[in-house]
Amino acid sequence: MKTLDDLWKQGQDFLGVRYPIMCGAMTWISESGLVSNVSNAGAFGCLAAGNMEPNLLADEIDRTKAATDKPFAVNMITIAPNYMAHLPVAIEKKVPFIIFAGGIPKSAEIQMAKEGGARVLCFASVESIAQRLIRAGTDGLMLEGSEAGGHIGHVSLMVLLQQVLFNVNSVPIFVAGGIGAGRIIPHLLMMGAAGVQLGTLFVATEECKTHPDFKKAFIRARARDAIATPQINSELHVVAVRALRNKGMENFSELQMDLIHRRRKGELTQEQAQYKVEEYWIGALRKAVQDGDIQGGSIMAGQSVGLVDKVRPLSDVLGCLVSEAEEELARMQRKLM
């Protein structure tokens, strides 16, 4: 009889944790407190670099290391204006894992991270990108479906599993997007995943330092309330964001039209317009997370928000995920006997 430890041993060994359940990096949310609590509980925390000032990132890494001796990652966004300043900080601080998100990192950047002693994870949306990143030296891959919250791709996890997970087996692959219950975990592991990543579910924990109104919005929401932002046209190269529908979503559509108009008039360059887009999301998310502005701010959430019904201690969330996974694995094996 297979056990959960048998199925996710690759993820355990790769991450160096008891439970290869990753808490996804969420800007303004995945700070040193949440990350260290997740890692201390036996799972895997990911510190969100976002677009914070490099000295603040250095401080957050130091706080995380002071609060846990367990492995964790720094997630850095390759399209963030401060990205090129973030990478040297993470290397200097000798973080155990670096996750490149938001775009495809250059081979030289992957090698810089590895030479600094970090294991590297990168996001892949199709098999060709996965193979390209493997050739560039990534140690593992992340598959994140469009069901996830925050900045997302265009393809659902169900399709990514078939496009990438079933065809790539040379590195560990962790999957994300729409995961909110432990019962789904053994099915994903049986398909070949080394572990899973969740974000939305960890927001609804006592250890997550977000505004109470932000958490209440999660509890009230249904899965269909977490929608992807519309792209007015392709001029701004806008990366879709999934968040709860509110006035902030409407404001973003209006912002896009204004930026396109100003760019066409020559008032803004492409780079400046793109910066304004990211500046909006960073500010809007902060208003919701820290100030509790759930109307004008951005309430980034995945479709798994429909599975959130209360705020619980982190230990309860992890305990339920693992126990549900174990029960489902036992049920699966009984059906096969």
Mean pLDDT of 33-41: 98
Inside any domain, residue 43: yes
Same-domain check for residues 188 and 229: no
Tens-place pLDDT, residues 276-322 = 887 887 788 899 999 999 999 999 999 999 999 999 999 999 999 99
Is residue 94 classed exposed, middle or buried when 0-12, 13-18 and 19+ CB atoms within 10 A define those classes?
A: exposed
| 134 located within any domain | yes
Residue 257 has pLDDT above 90, yes or no: no
* 111 lies in the same domain as 166: yes
Residue 218 in domain: no
Indicate if the pLDDT at residue 324 is higher than 80.
yes
Same domain, 124 and 254: no
The verdict on residue 217 lying in a domain is: no
Range 165-182 average pLDDT: 96
- Whether residues 116 and 258 share a domain: the answer is no
Residue with tokens 């355990």: 12
Evaluate if residue 19 carries a pLDDT over 80: yes
Q: Give the C-alpha separation, 210 to 207, whole Å.
A: 9
19 assigned to some structural domain: yes
Side-chain-facing half-sphere of 209: CA atoms under 13 Å: 11
31 within domain boundaries: yes
pLDDT digits (tens, 9 = 90+) for 207-253: 999 999 999 999 999 999 999 987 777 777 777 889 999 998 888 88
Strand order in the sheet with 241-244: 150-151, 241-244, 226-228
Residues 159 and 248 in one domain: no
- CATH number of the structural domain spanning residue 205: 3.20.20.70
- In a shared domain, residues 92 and 108: yes
| 227 and 299 belong to one structural domain | yes
Same domain, 324 and 291: no
What pLDDT does 151 receive? 85
Assess whether 140 and 60 both reside in one domain: yes
The total of structural domains in the chain comes to: 2
| Residue 242 shares a structural domain with residue 102 | no
What's residue 22's pLDDT?
A: 98
Q: What is the pTM of this model?
A: 0.94
In a domain, 30, yes or no: yes
Query: What is the residue range of 92's domain?
Result: 4-210+307-336
Same domain, 168 and 274: no
Residue 19: phi and psi, rounded to 5, are -120, 115
Is residue 149 included in any domain, yes or no? yes
Q: Is the pLDDT of residue 126 over 90?
A: no
Q: What is the pLDDT of residues 84-112, one digit of tens each?
A: 999 999 999 999 999 999 889 999 999 99
Mean of pLDDT values over 245-267: 88
On whether both 155 and 252 belong to a single domain, the answer is: no
